[in-house]
Amino acid sequence: MKFGLLFELGGPPGSTREDVKKIYDDALDQITLADELGFDHMWAVEHHFSPPHSFSTAPEVFLTAAAVRTKRIRVGHGIVVCTPPVNHPAHIAERAAVLDIVSNGRLDVGTGRSNTWLELGGYAAEPHDTKQSWDEYVRALPKMWTDPSYSNPNGRFFKMPERAIVPQPLQDPHPPLWVAVTSPGTEFDAADRGLGVFGLSIGNYKAQEEKIKNYRRRIQNCEPIGPAVNEQVHVVNFMHCGLDETAAQRGRVMLDTFNHNTAHTVPVKEVYPSPLYQIGGFLPTLRQEALGPGDATGIPEGLAIGEPDRIIEVVKHWESIGVDGMNFVIQASEVLSHEEVMESLRNFATYVMPQFKTPEELAAPVATGMRKV
């Protein structure tokens, strides 16, 4: 089981310039500690026009800062918006390659198409086309990273004459590729292309187990879009670990704050009806799951919040249904103090992590999980 952190870099309403600076500084301190404690991944979202929920508008810059402060932990785009005019695939390939070099080969690249009207509408993107544009982008990226030159003269969503796209990434053949899985069926899109699952929907164990089984079965017969297959399944979760009942109370405050913030986002389907956006996806799913308590702590089923014994049980359950990694949201709009977050990370590393990793595994470089084809 691999453990990671997911950063939204959000703040309270009315956040000042100084507040945002502290949000970034605290997050970098948390990542530095996580690297020392043995966490495997850290991810930064890409969001635009979404204050105060997220100020993570240039994740490649933040990830570079994280990379130069750490030695072992893998740094990841969680996710890059693969939609014109938000990003051009050649620019994604170039930024990723440089970040892979700067991080000494520790980059992961998550891909997706965005789910909020604030972003897509702000860039005047066409929601009906986002799934097709994502497909064209992810098929181009491995070629851009591995071929001496690349051209796409007849592309639908971007056209390019032949150009050398440099530099190539340090990882051979390229960084692991993932896709954000929210809508039903996206796990099949991931499997068919040989991509890892970056699960953003926290449903009940049974629902997620069925998705994972379908993915595992289907990826065995995939037609990879590049020279390597990433067959890992990671899920997003919430984590706050403490040594008494106050941990559940603090974790619930974080969870409720996160859900309150996301309630003010505007899903695409509420503004621009499209068959490609039939459900709300990540954020509404989290809100729905957070409405009902899962046990006596008042924490919904499957969330890693509370005392170590409870969190260990939760992680073991996810592991038993085929999850390879868990990426934790550990803060929401700075509702927890920086010290509380740091203590939670230490508690998790002291009491939970040893149940799933040996000391040698904690010290070793983090494996990519990819296989060449």
Task: Return the HEC string of the chain.
Answer: CEEEEEECCCCCCCCCHHHHHHHHHHHHHHHHHHHHHCCCEEEECCCCCCCCCCCCCCHHHHHHHHHHHCCCCEEEEEEEECCCCCCCHHHHHHHHHHHHHHCCCCEEEEEECCCEHHHHHHCCCCHHHHHHHHHHHHHHHHHHHHCCCEEECCCCCCCEEEECCCCCCCCCCCCCEEEEECCCCHHHHHHHHCCEEEECCCCCHHHHHHHHHHHHHHHCCCCCCCCEEECCEEEEEEEEECCCCHHHHHHHHHHHHHHHHHCCCCEHHHCCCCCCCCCCCHHHHHHHHCCCCCCCCCCCCCCEEECHHHHHHHHHHHHHCCCCEEEEECCCCCCCCHHHHHHHHHHHHHHHHHHCCCHHHHHCCCCCCEEEC
C-alpha closest to that of 182 among 289, 261, 294, 75: 289
Least confident of 186-195, 206-215, 265-274: 265-274
Per-residue pLDDT of 155-180, as tens digits, reads: 999 999 999 999 999 999 999 999 99
Per-residue pLDDT of 250-298, as tens digits, reads: 999 999 999 888 776 767 777 766 667 665 444 434 444 444 445 677 8
* pLDDT value of position 61: 98
Mean pLDDT of 30-35: 98
Per-residue pLDDT of 302-348, as tens digits, reads: 999 999 999 999 999 999 999 999 999 999 999 999 999 999 999 99
Q: Domain containing 231: what range?
A: 2-372
* pLDDT value of position 282: 44
Residue partners of 347: CB distance under 8 A and separation at least 6:
241, 242, 243, 308
CA torsion angle for 179, 180, 186, 188 (degrees, to 10)? 40
What is the tally of structural domains in the chain? 1
CATH, residue 160: 3.20.20.30
pTM of the full structure: 0.93
- pLDDT higher than threshold 90 for residue 183: no
* pLDDT value of position 271: 76
Encoding tokens for residue 155? 């592309």
